Amino acid sequence: MSRTMGDLGMGLHTQRRAVLVTVALVVLAGCAERETILPGKREPVSAILSAETPEAAALTNAARDISLPPQVANADAAQSFGTPAFRTDHPQLNSTLTPIWSVDIGAGDSRKHRIVADPVVSGGRVFTLDAETTVSAVSTSGQLLWQRDILPARAEGGEGTGGGLAVDDNVLYVSSGLGTLTALDASSGGILWTQELEAIGVGRPTVFENLVYVMAGDDTGWAIEKDDGRIAWRVTSSEARTNVLGGPAPIVTDGLAVFSFGSGELQAVFRQGGLRRWDASVLGERRGRALAKVDDVTGRPIAKDGVIYAGNQSGRTVAVNASSGTPIWTAGEGAIDKVLPVGDSVFLISDRNELVRLSAEDGSRIWGTQLPNFVRDRPLRQSEVFAHHGPVLAGGRLLVASSDEVLRSFDPTNGSLTGVTDIPGGASTAPVVAGQTLYVVSRKGQLLAYR
């Protein structure tokens, strides 16, 4: 009997403990903070990448008159537009464009390789570099004249991609992603010399007087004797975290050569000897958010009226004094391709895939026109974006060539779309205008001509 009463006592004790624990939990639950539900409209995380966000809607958009330079009937477009000596500010071009011919120029874009070299035009020939190491010369009437593979003897096919082109005195200078600079006879494609720079990812070359200037992916700027390919001098920068294919061509102006490094540094050196003159930077990101963390100077620098304009993909475009490197202004817009100063304005394609017009005086935004953004515009598919190349000014309007198979024309006063032309396969380079003809290379590896 005593054993039964003891068991009963233990059972009652256990029940009391359970009741006390339950009461304690209820008290603690009553003391916990209630979840605060913030007022306001709910937006998906992916909405921040959309042009329809309140942030985008609040951005300034205003029409403003612009004084365009007179149109010029240029015959050639032999080098990168950044150096004033090689640039036609406003080439002649018809208001409507019709495709007149196309020519296969080699390997097109693939998972591992990209066409990044804009075509160059000189002496009635158009020169191209495919996604690997094939150089082509095509007549302005559409006949393939010659092709040359510049793959170094030490390398295997398919190893490299990237590079650039420049023509001077009937010599074609070709940089490659395999770290070489090659001089070819522009008439026949014969190799005159090759200089191995022991680097990967060599950018677009610039030829001025007796030197070829070129950037290498290991943060080295080179000056090469154009007659024999010997190294004249070189300059270096701090280590970069990122580098882009087909880096910007160096700028030559007022006795200086200006190199754009992957670290975001602009470095001006005296052309004779490479002694450093000044340093500036395009470092920084857009406040609040940026769609990339690429410090490399991707907005191809350009010199105009004593000012150098350049940008990166992280939300920064700058203007600096070309003689001293002193900053003039900084804008919160990234530049993914060309930075194009025209009159009192600067045009660029931003890292948010907008065609943007800024004030050349202070970098303030005048207007922005949204370009196609995501290839698959669904929340779980928003990774790949369309590539846009340009802008260029020709025939009184701005032209942008895009990977969505469209060449678009825009009114420079207000950014309105004024015309579209098909690009079969989509564009892989910026458009180039010479002889009242527009040339662009497609992702399929075709040179297309429009007039």
- pLDDT higher than 90, residue 9: no
Residues 166 and 79 sit within 8 Å (Cβ to Cβ): yes
The mean per-residue pLDDT over the stretch 226-252 comes to: 81
pLDDT band at 95 (very low <50, low <70, confident <90, very high): very high
Quick check: bond before 152 cis, omega within 30? no
Establish if 6 belongs to a structural domain: no
The mean per-residue pLDDT over the stretch 131-152 comes to: 95
Establish if 253 belongs to a structural domain: yes
**Taking Cα atoms as reference points, which of 298, 268, 269 lies closest to residue 283?**
298
The per-residue pLDDT for 294 is: 53
The mean per-residue pLDDT over the stretch 203-231 comes to: 92
- pLDDT higher than 80, residue 396: yes
**Taking Cα atoms as reference points, which of 282, 278, 287, 280 lies closest to residue 298?**
282
At CB < 8 A and 24+ separation, what contacts does 394-397 make? Answer: 394/90, 394/91, 394/92, 394/93, 394/431, 394/433, 394/438, 395/71, 395/91, 395/92, 395/93, 395/94, 395/95, 395/433, 396/68, 396/71, 396/95, 397/95
The mean per-residue pLDDT over the stretch 353-377 comes to: 91
92 φ, ψ (degrees, to nearest 5): -70, 140
Residues 203 and 189 sit within 8 Å (Cβ to Cβ): no
Which strands, in side-by-side order, build the sheet including 134-139? 120-122, 125-129, 134-139, 144-149
State which residues form the domain around 283.
45-450
The mean per-residue pLDDT over the stretch 3-15 comes to: 46
The per-residue pLDDT for 342 is: 97
- pLDDT higher than 70, residue 395: yes
The per-residue pLDDT for 244 is: 57
Q: Which region holds residue 343: left if phi is over 0, alpha if psi is between -120 and 50, else beta? A: left
Domain count, the chain: 1
Establish if 32 belongs to a structural domain: no
Q: Could you read off the pLDDT of 400-447 as tens digits, one per residue?
A: 999 999 999 999 999 999 999 999 999 999 999 999 999 999 999 999
Q: Could you read off the pLDDT of 311-341 as tens digits, one per residue?
A: 988 788 999 999 999 999 999 998 888 999 9
Q: Could you read off the pLDDT of 198-215 as tens digits, one per residue?
A: 777 778 999 999 999 999
Of residues 399 and 54, the one with the higher pLDDT is 399
Which strands, in side-by-side order, build the sheet including 171-176? 163-168, 171-176, 180-185, 191-196
The per-residue pLDDT for 376 is: 64
Of residues 349 and 14, the one with the higher pLDDT is 349
* Token representation of residue 232: 């004249």
Establish if 261 belongs to a structural domain: yes
The per-residue pLDDT for 285 is: 62
Q: Which domain CATH number covers 92?
A: 2.130.10.10
The per-residue pLDDT for 217 is: 74
* Token representation of residue 363: 């970098």
- pLDDT higher than 60, residue 276: yes
pLDDT band at 74 (very low <50, low <70, confident <90, very high): very high
* Token representation of residue 34: 């209630």
* Token representation of residue 341: 């100063």
Least confident of 76-90, 172-186, 289-303: 289-303
The per-residue pLDDT for 246 is: 54
The per-residue pLDDT for 444 is: 97
The mean per-residue pLDDT over the stretch 245-252 comes to: 81
**Taking Cα atoms as reference points, which of 403, 437, 394 lies closest to residue 422?**
403
Establish if 22 belongs to a structural domain: no
- pLDDT higher than 50, residue 251: yes
Establish if 17 belongs to a structural domain: no
Q: What torsion do the CA atoms of 352, 355, 357, 362 make, to the nearest 10 degrees?
A: 30
The per-residue pLDDT for 35 is: 58
Residue with tokens 């817009």: 333
Angstrom distances, CA of residue 152 to CA of 30, 37, 96, 185, 438: 76, 64, 43, 17, 32
Establish if 39 belongs to a structural domain: no
Tell me the C-alpha distance between 392 and 344, whole Å. Answer: 16
Tell me the C-alpha distance between 198 and 200, whole Å. Answer: 7
Tell me the C-alpha distance between 126 and 145, whole Å. Answer: 10
- pLDDT higher than 70, residue 4: no
**Taking Cα atoms as reference points, which of 370, 371, 303 lies closest to residue 339?**
303
Buried b (16+ CB within 10 A) or exposed e, 231-254: ebbebebeebebbbbbbbbbbbbe
- pLDDT higher than 70, residue 229: yes
Mean pLDDT of the chain: 85
Establish if 14 belongs to a structural domain: no
Least confident of 85-89, 218-222, 275-279: 218-222
pLDDT band at 154 (very low <50, low <70, confident <90, very high): confident
The per-residue pLDDT for 25 is: 43
Instruction: Tell me the β-bridge partners of 246.
Output: none
The per-residue pLDDT for 312 is: 87
Q: Could you read off the pLDDT of 54-68 as tens digits, one per residue?
A: 444 456 688 999 999
- pLDDT higher than 60, residue 240: no
The per-residue pLDDT for 186 is: 98
Share of the chain above pLDDT 70, in %: 78
Highest mean pLDDT among 120-124, 175-179, 263-267, 376-380: 120-124
The per-residue pLDDT for 401 is: 98
The mean per-residue pLDDT over the stretch 236-265 comes to: 80
